[in-house]
Amino acid sequence: MTVRVGIINVTGFAGMEAARLLWNHPEAELVAATGRSLAGQQLGEAFPHLAAYADFPITSELEAEVDVVFSALPTGASAEACAPLVEQGVRVIDIAADFRLREPAAFAQWFGKDHPAPALLDRAVYGLAELHAGEIANADLVANPGCYPATTILALAPAVAAGLIEPRVFVDAKSGISGAGRGTGGGFSYSDVNEDVSAYRIANHNHQPEMAQELSRLREGPEVAVTFVPHLVPMTRGIHSTCYAPLAEDVSQSEVLALYRDFYADAPFTSVTDAPPHTKHTYGSNDCLVHPTVDERNGALVAVGVLDNLMKGAAGSAIENMNLMFGLPQAAGLDRPALYP
Amino acid sequence: MTVRVGIINVTGFAGMEAARLLWNHPEAELVAATGRSLAGQQLGEAFPHLAAYADFPITSELEAEVDVVFSALPTGASAEACAPLVEQGVRVIDIAADFRLREPAAFAQWFGKDHPAPALLDRAVYGLAELHAGEIANADLVANPGCYPATTILALAPAVAAGLIEPRVFVDAKSGISGAGRGTGGGFSYSDVNEDVSAYRIANHNHQPEMAQELSRLREGPEVAVTFVPHLVPMTRGIHSTCYAPLAEDVSQSEVLALYRDFYADAPFTSVTDAPPHTKHTYGSNDCLVHPTVDERNGALVAVGVLDNLMKGAAGSAIENMNLMFGLPQAAGLDRPALYP
Amino acid sequence: MTVRVGIINVTGFAGMEAARLLWNHPEAELVAATGRSLAGQQLGEAFPHLAAYADFPITSELEAEVDVVFSALPTGASAEACAPLVEQGVRVIDIAADFRLREPAAFAQWFGKDHPAPALLDRAVYGLAELHAGEIANADLVANPGCYPATTILALAPAVAAGLIEPRVFVDAKSGISGAGRGTGGGFSYSDVNEDVSAYRIANHNHQPEMAQELSRLREGPEVAVTFVPHLVPMTRGIHSTCYAPLAEDVSQSEVLALYRDFYADAPFTSVTDAPPHTKHTYGSNDCLVHPTVDERNGALVAVGVLDNLMKGAAGSAIENMNLMFGLPQAAGLDRPALYP
Amino acid sequence: MTVRVGIINVTGFAGMEAARLLWNHPEAELVAATGRSLAGQQLGEAFPHLAAYADFPITSELEAEVDVVFSALPTGASAEACAPLVEQGVRVIDIAADFRLREPAAFAQWFGKDHPAPALLDRAVYGLAELHAGEIANADLVANPGCYPATTILALAPAVAAGLIEPRVFVDAKSGISGAGRGTGGGFSYSDVNEDVSAYRIANHNHQPEMAQELSRLREGPEVAVTFVPHLVPMTRGIHSTCYAPLAEDVSQSEVLALYRDFYADAPFTSVTDAPPHTKHTYGSNDCLVHPTVDERNGALVAVGVLDNLMKGAAGSAIENMNLMFGLPQAAGLDRPALYP
């Protein structure tokens, strides 16, 4: 039995990446895809790299029966579109931010509007398979993690869960430009962005509460305080998150490596590297590479995580969650080496 | 009277950038330039962008009388070459790391060899004009700051000097590839570096002790502890340093901005921006742009500094130091807008 | 006496580049700059790399007395704005395409509208200093060459003028993205343009008739037929024009090099290189580098030209024309090595 | 039955790309891989993006029984390594240039040495599936096309075969830097190559005779004369070949499009686009996109071809040839959309 998948808003980068992955999925198939601005065009005509979908229309509403929907709408609009689907018994994986924060008040504070479907928040499962595979398997509504939080949480989770660090982290993340989305305005033009690094929304980005909430769930005691600064760097794909925290106890480099390796021993996509990892080693793959370093001089931990923001940071992770929800092998359709160079 | 300048090792990126700047300097002139591997060629032939130096030979030794020498040799070799010049009364600006650390033991620890001229360390002045203009004006030996330390110290100096932050900083720096030098091997090939971000020498880079030493001089009390992680990003020029520290007192965003603006009120090249600065706004200029942000949620300061690593981070700063040493206007030959886009 | 310059539409890339160059011009000064969308802002505030112009307002109309105006408006609008200025005796350098084609019918054909000021076409001088320095010096209206034509004409002029090639050329040009202008839409976003090469307006770009017209003026006989294909490559600045033509006579590589060198012997900015030139060797400079190759196997000439599209291809060339028009040294304000790397 | 594949020189870009593709091939498996400099390491350790090959040693000689070998050695060395394998009955796909030119004298002229195995030249089949699928299926030695020739021949073949153009073409090709190979020296460092376009080996590249030979086979009459100029552009993967030729007869744009579409009607990987294609639309895929334009003004054809130089231009094409040789579906292991953005 093939899982029938619908994508809401296939015309954004995450949506089109999900379509790309589904083309080669052995047990799932794209059967419907919406996208208001391009409705009426064929998917393979609108996006030449998806030429394989030559006879697959983009529609304004989902026009086939589906088992699961990926929503890649903007935050706010996504919950509105997902709510009736959940009620109808369609499983939903929300790639937007609508179901990540558990408190409606937090949503209102960070996104500047009331949550459109607060009643669903309790049913939503945070879709990071390394931490919540069991819950995801039983979920009907999954909140796909944000790209920055996915990278950061995977870099820090073993240390937080083991109580290795103080609950005070500084997160410095560098993202490729595709994180800003498709069809974005002049600020992301090649001429402006090439040969440029800049920080934005310093200590004020809406992925910060998601990191704080999810890291805090991993340990007893006070909330984990997170200072988060995202940066744009001149590349298309990739996130590099460098996380700093005071050590809570004396620990050696080899002990930390062992603890991290143990934590991810069964994870098919997250692995611990001996040397600092490169974002390019995950280009187009669903891998997350993690590397902790003990700064003995200063009693601190530096934990690095890297991934492809459109794969493990968005569409790849959504496929992984779908696999878990439908009892398929976790790596189905995702077992691909990265593209290098 | 024109200042006669010699460059030792004009064939590296810093050396050739100094030659470029001297072509347009109103009161200084390049009169000799060494470079073993290319000795015998004309400077304008070896480096087509310096075609203006069509009849200017690269020699193996300095072959003209000079008032000042820029040394752009590798660390260790530089002190050996500079020592006899200082003895002869030639003023020296060392762009290498040889005279930055004040303790011979620190040099030995971080560079893995004994200092070749420890007797000169006391005469060396740290060449960051924003902090030590008076000393530089009277120096005969100037240690030009490292590119990472220059960016970081300028980002943090006002806060450290005012006691605004705890003596515990995390420094996350992103550098363009030219920081790795010219003619470097396969690891910096376009195919490997494009679409890639990676950290290296995590908490173990030899610019760390330079930052710690110079920041600590700005305040009474314990040494400033620095955890420093450099990263390579796919661009040619530019450094972006993001510095994190716990606040030592309650302070507002506007108070911090005012304090920073006051600190740099007389600095011709360092200015404080209202919004997060872009490395690209300093491309080819001698400017450093600084921007502090108070993270009220977590009681922390995030201070950003950006500059062009070959200009304010190397050759531009060397010209600025020369100007001060010879009583020229500080901005002579450097008053140029950045190249954009 | 300082030449007082006004820039119409300083907010495009060519206009802001002219402002940058004027900051360091020894005998000219920017006194007024218009830009409707940003009128009211200071120039140094709107464009951080021009921070030196901190107290220089962008206005909606020219608000100071000027000796010369650079118009960087879109084609069509530019002639409308320039015509009254020419009537008032202000000298005008038009960076748009309005006064390049000598026939109003050609303008109508290629730009889809009637020429707004056909009476001025006879007064306009084509502003390529290598070919028309004398006329430019006496002009009150100069048509600044297009970036593709400037590169191509300089690459081919010696061969065409000497009758070395048949009047049949294929021009394959590669341009950096800044040629598409500032604030352009989604098609030039970093994510779309990085890792991409594409041709556009194949054999149908409006720079083609400009090339054909100007090359044909260099020789007796039939019009030079030009097949022109522009390409976008992932870089910010630079044009590389590769021109192919059948040889009209037997000639050796050294003869062609000698002929080219002789042709440009007195040109301050165009030079002939021994090896294929790199666009990067002209980054930020006003230089054009030219290199002809005889394909003996097939009896063809391959002529390469490279330059910085915003400098010799736009604003640098405009400054050069101004210098000639006002009797200043041709290289005033432009004698700068390129930025490398 | 799974085809057992050996790769000679897995450590170059083409070799490692073949290994990447074989990981997901449904009916072939990598069983041995050589690479002298890294012999002894595991493939997944030497190349982190191939981490899936964690327990797969790189050896100095092929150490398993194989059905087919991909040779990615340098030209000259490759024929030496392939000759004994062919004698032993192992099928060989040579990714080097050793078996492409049919005349030993041409090899000697262009590669500067005698051919190491001239007796095998008659057995070698030129491995461009669009033109020679039948021969490839029966071959025991396949000469995989060069990246530039593959792009160019596919762009021109329909026009040449139909006698649409004169036998005189100008080929202007733009290649990403990976075409220069892995571990190449300073000339391809990021700092030198970013923001740069340059031509090299103008009308003197050893892919020229390959183009001329293969295009000439497509028609009666005189040899096709080819002037070929390769360029490097700042991207990692991709080739864009723009081909110019005088039309031999009057033909309309729609007629040419129809002729091209007809020619490639059965080709699984080459298709004809309505608009100029982008290299990025083939990133990581085995597709070649072709687009012809009639320049009516000048009676010329402009034919564009784009592909990924490591895929359809090297390893992807090698897999395709293997599929044909072993009776597998032509697209096995290759039916993947490109990665975008």
Q: What is the pLDDT of residue A185?
A: 60
On chain A, the residues whose CB falls within 8 A of the CB of B283 are: 195
Using DSSP, state whether A326 is helix, strand or coil: coil
Picking from D182, D271, D338, the nearest residue to A49 by CB comes out as D338
Interatomic CA distance for residues D299 and D122, integer angstroms: 39
Length of chain C: 341
Give residue-wise pLDDT tens across range D217-268.
999 999 999 999 999 999 999 999 999 999 999 999 999 999 999 999 999 9
CA distance C185 to chain A (A): 6
Q: What is the pLDDT of residue B185?
A: 60
Picking from B23, B49, B337, the nearest residue to C23 by CB comes out as B337
Interatomic CA distance for residues D15 and D30, integer angstroms: 11
C-beta separation of A98 from A143 below 8 A? yes
Q: For chain B, which chains pass the contact test of at least 3 CB pairs under 8 Å?
A: A, C, D
Alpha-carbon distances of B46 from B37, B43, C329, rounded to whole Å: 11, 5, 28
Mutate to test the interface with A, among D41, D49, D194, D196 (most CBs of A within 10 A): D49
- Supply A73's token pair: 């709408």
State whether C48 and B336 contact (CB < 8 Å).
no
Picking from C195, C203, C302, the nearest residue to D238 by CB comes out as C195
Average pLDDT over residues A131-139: 98
In chain B, helix, strand, coil percent, each to 5? Answer: 35, 25, 40
Q: What is the pLDDT of residue C36?
A: 85
Mutate to test the interface with D, among A10, A45, A49 (most CBs of D within 10 A): A49
On chain D, the residues whose CB falls within 8 A of the CB of A306 are: none
- Specify whether D147 is catalytic: yes
CA distance A38 to chain D (A): 18
On chain C, the residues whose CB falls within 8 A of the CB of D176 are: 195
For the cut 90, the answer to whether the pLDDT of residue D163 exceeds it is yes
Using DSSP, state whether A304 is helix, strand or coil: strand
Give residue-wise pLDDT tens across range D164-201.
999 999 999 999 999 998 876 667 999 999 999 999 99
Q: What is the pLDDT of residue C207?
A: 98
Mutate to test the interface with A, among C191, C198, C232, C310 (most CBs of A within 10 A): C191
CA distance A193 to chain C (A): 7
Using DSSP, state whether C198 is helix, strand or coil: strand
State whether C194 and A235 contact (CB < 8 Å).
yes
Q: What is the pLDDT of residue B1?
A: 82
On chain B, the residues whose CB falls within 8 A of the CB of D236 are: 190-191, 194-195
State whether B341 and A227 contact (CB < 8 Å).
no
Q: What is the pLDDT of residue D186?
A: 60
Q: What is the pLDDT of residue D184?
A: 62
State whether A304 and B199 contact (CB < 8 Å).
yes
DSSP A189: B
Tell me the percentage of chain B whose pLDDT exceeds 70.
99
Of D199, B54, D193, nearest to C155 (Cα)? D199
- How crowded is residue B332: how many other Cβ atoms within 10 Å of its Cβ? 17
Residue whose tokens read 């010209």:
B319
For residue B186, name the pLDDT band (cuts at 50, 70, 90). Answer: low
Mutate to test the interface with D, among B17, B184, B189, B235 (most CBs of D within 10 A): B189
- Supply B7's token pair: 């460059």
C65 φ, ψ (degrees, to nearest 5): -75, 135
Task: Measure CA A125 to chain center.
Answer: 14
Closest residue of chain D to C232, computed from CA coordinates: D278
CA distance B301 to chain A (A): 9
- How crowded is residue C218: how many other Cβ atoms within 10 Å of its Cβ? 17
Residue whose tokens read 């590839």:
B177
Picking from B24, B273, B281, the nearest residue to C336 by CB comes out as B24
Interatomic CA distance for residues C176 and C322, integer angstroms: 26
Give residue-wise pLDDT tens across range A105-122.
999 999 999 999 999 999
CA distance D10 to chain B (A): 17
State whether C190 and A188 contact (CB < 8 Å).
yes
Q: In degrees to the nearest 10, what's the CA dihedral of A13, A16, A17, A22?
A: 160
State whether D236 and B190 contact (CB < 8 Å).
yes
Q: What is the pLDDT of residue A186?
A: 60
Q: What is the pLDDT of residue C187?
A: 78
CA distance D249 to chain A (A): 32
Picking from C190, C195, C235, the nearest residue to A189 by CB comes out as C190
State whether C289 and B23 contact (CB < 8 Å).
no
Chain C residues with at least one Cβ partner in B under 8 Å: 13, 16, 20, 23-24, 47-52, 178, 182, 194-195, 236-237, 271, 273, 277-278, 280-285, 287, 289, 335-341
Average pLDDT over residues A190-218: 97
CA distance D90 to chain C (A): 38
For residue B182, name the pLDDT band (cuts at 50, 70, 90). Answer: confident
Give residue-wise pLDDT tens across range D16-38.
999 999 999 999 999 999 998 89
Picking from B174, B198, B341, the nearest residue to A231 by CB comes out as B174
B212-215 contacts, C-beta under 8 A, 24 or more apart: B213/B100, B213/B101, B213/B102, B213/B106, B214/B126, B214/B128, B214/B131, B214/B145, B214/B149, B214/B153, B215/B153, B215/B156, B215/B157, B215/B160, B215/B169
For residue B184, name the pLDDT band (cuts at 50, 70, 90). Answer: low
Average pLDDT over residues A246-250: 97
DSSP D128: -
State whether A340 and D49 contact (CB < 8 Å).
yes
- How crowded is residue D186: how many other Cβ atoms within 10 Å of its Cβ? 14
State whether B339 and C278 contact (CB < 8 Å).
no
State whether D190 and B234 contact (CB < 8 Å).
yes
Length of chain B: 341
Q: What is the pLDDT of residue B193?
A: 95
Q: What is the pLDDT of residue A36?
A: 85
C-beta separation of C130 from C267 below 8 A? yes
Mean pLDDT by 10 residues, chain C (341 residues): 96 97 98 95 97 97 97 95 97 98 97 96 98 98 98 98 98 97 78 97 98 97 97 98 98 98 98 98 98 98 98 98 98 98 97
Q: Is C205 left (phi over 0), alpha (psi -120 to 50) or beta?
A: beta
Write out the E strands in D34-167. Answer: 68-71, 91-94, 124-126, 141-143
Using DSSP, state whether C302 is helix, strand or coil: strand
ipTM: 0.97
Sign, CA torsion B8/B9/B15/B18: positive
State whether C196 and D276 contact (CB < 8 Å).
no
- N-to-C CA span, chain D: 37
Alpha-carbon distances of A46 from A29, A40, A181, C210, D286, rounded to whole Å: 19, 10, 16, 35, 20
Q: What is the pLDDT of residue A184?
A: 62
On chain A, the residues whose CB falls within 8 A of the CB of D179 are: none
State whether C203 and D297 contact (CB < 8 Å).
yes
Using DSSP, state whether A79 is helix, strand or coil: helix
- Supply C263's token pair: 């042709």
Tell me the percentage of chain D whose pLDDT exceeds 70.
99
The per-residue pLDDT of chain D, averaged, comes to 97
